[in-house]
Amino acid sequence: MSAQERALPQTEANGPRQATDTSHSHTHEHGAGGHLRDCLVIAATSLLLIGYWFEWLPSIWGVDTALLAALIGGVPIVATAVVAIYQRGDTKVGLLVSIAIIASIAIGEYFAAAEVALIMTIGEMLEHITLEKSNTALKKLAELAPLKARLLENGSEREIAAELVKIGDRLLVKQGEKIPVDGKVLAGYATVDQATITGESIPVERRDGADVFGGTIVTMGAVEMVATKVGQDTALGHIIKMVKEAQASKAPSARIIDRWANWFVPLSLAIAVLVYLVTGDIVRGVTILIVFCPCAMLLSTPTAVAAAIGAAARRGILIKGGESLEKLGTIDTVLLDKTGTITVGKPSVKDLCCYNGWQKNDLLAIAAGIEKRSEHHLAKAIIQAAEKENIPLAEPSCWEPAIGQGIIAEADGRHFLLGNQLLMKNKQVPLTPEQQAYCLEHQQAGGTAVIVAADGAVAGIIIIHDPLREGAKATIAALSRENIGNIVLLTGDAAVVGNAIGTQVNIPTVHGDLLPADKAKYIEAYQAAGGKVAMIGDGINDAPALAKADIGIAMGYSGTDIAVEAADIVLLSDDLNKVPETIRKGRKAIRTIWQNIIVANAINLAAIIFAAFGLLGPVLAAIVHNVGSILVVLNSARLLRQK
């Protein structure tokens, strides 16, 4: 078993079958069944040619040559239709074709029956080939899985199968090799091509302490790393699993079309009987049955969804299903979290002011000790500041989070508060005019003020700055060009900080001093006003809002697991420019789905009219039927193109 096979709920070796499989009940898979079908097609074709061109062989073993060809080509179609009806209750496609073949034979149109079966089968073969081309995303992702790893053990290195790597193993990756699993760099320096995972076009530098993804390639240098995630827990394993599940899920339009298609059998039979009663020509009735099959319409949505999700995955955009893809195309309001979304999410301490006899080192020791248990971006900045000064952390004896405000703790018999001004206000800790002015000055510059209070008095104020993401301003401009009517910044930070950041990136509406529940309430408010809302965030505090929004977009695979789980779309890189790109992909997919539906129904309607007036025979009807299906699949395949 390969490493990637271990990383997935077993993907078929010869390529995954997507949601498109269920739409065509008479489509045969490759493998043994596919080879048998090919042989039957060759046999039926030969018999048809013999019967048509050589009058000296009108029958074989007393059976009309054309009838024999019809039976050879038609029996597999009829058998598949019967199985589909028995196992799944599927009467949408195979039943109509089967009735058409049987009716043609019943009226003595053996040659027409044989040609219908032959053209249908050839059409399915061509359609299968086209679908395979549009469903290559998972194959290409699976091919990224490394086969080998260099294990460092007892001072020596040896090659092992990548699937045997365990968490904690020390590995060596040299120039030109694939990184076998997710891990952290321990030593060395390298540039790594992460395009296959995150969609980043430019290789990134990786050195001590940096995270690396399995399946990415070291383009220059070499690194020693420790394995942190293996098998299905790696980024690549998660990507393939999510894409597989997403492509297999049905979009709302697909479910509507499925229900609509259930009416096709009785409707087509009724129209076929009506045409026969009016014209007295049973051949026209049989032709109606052939052209009425809704194959093209049934393929219109799942092929577009599979292609769009696959193409997005190759760009580092994970869309969790067809429903998310369709909703994405309707978005007109975008709400963004500040920290880790508009900003880089790697804040650092820029200033610190002590009060009431506290010294810098003592303040950092207690603040970093309190923040040690927190996963907040600001906590990491304080801890890093203490570590940079080699200040030992003071361990609190009691620790309690105040959601959206800060932390309440006890250490060395003293009561501490660490958080924003709202926490101080709620706990009745007064700030002097000087302290308020100090906070305001830095907040207006985009900084965040973290206040530390000891036993009810302010001990110090720590100023933290988080730089803007590169291209954040350009992203907001791109969203405006995509006709996003409302672009809103939400932040748990002070409103004055949010306004400063909003001004820098041209976000017109900013809401600050928000608790996680407040963000969700703003989403509800925009939805109540008729907006289709996308929420973009990356932290635990964003999870309620991500789940509440019509579309939740989580920034960066390295974001918190709860945010990734709550989101409908995950951007594997921290590139904010992928947000407008993702919206464009959703809108293009919606346009493609509607193009497919219109083309499929237009062809069907025109063919029915021509058949009713006797201008379209059974053979040409079969050709038209399959041309429509192939056109739909080819149109969906255009979504795979990358610009």
Catalytic residues: 337
Contact 128, 61 (CB under 8 A): no
Work out whether strand 486-490 and strand 457-465 pair parallel, antiparallel, or are unpaired. unpaired
Residue 469, CB half-sphere, CA atoms under 13 Å: how many? 25
Coil vs helix vs strand at 204: strand
The two tokens of residue 638 are: 């255009």
Residue 420: φ, ψ to 5°: -90, -175
β-pairing verdict for 486-490 and 509-511: parallel
Is 277 exposed, middle or buried (CB count within 10 Å of its CB: 0-12, 13-18, 19+)? exposed
Alpha helices in 444-515 (DSSP H): 472-481, 495-505
Asked if 548 and 528 touch (Cβ cutoff 8 Å), the reply is no
| Cα dihedral 69, 71, 74, 80 in deg (nearest 10) | -140
Site of tokens 């379209």? 616
CB 567 within 8 A of CB 324: no
- Evaluate whether 498 touches 388 at the Cβ level (below 8 Å): no
How far apart CA 159 and CA 136 sit, in angstroms, is 30
What is the sign of the dihedral through the CA atoms of 507, 511, 515 and 517? negative
Cα–Cα dist 297/254, whole Å: 9
Report CA Rg, the chain: 32
What's the CA gap between 141 and 632, in Å, rounded? 25
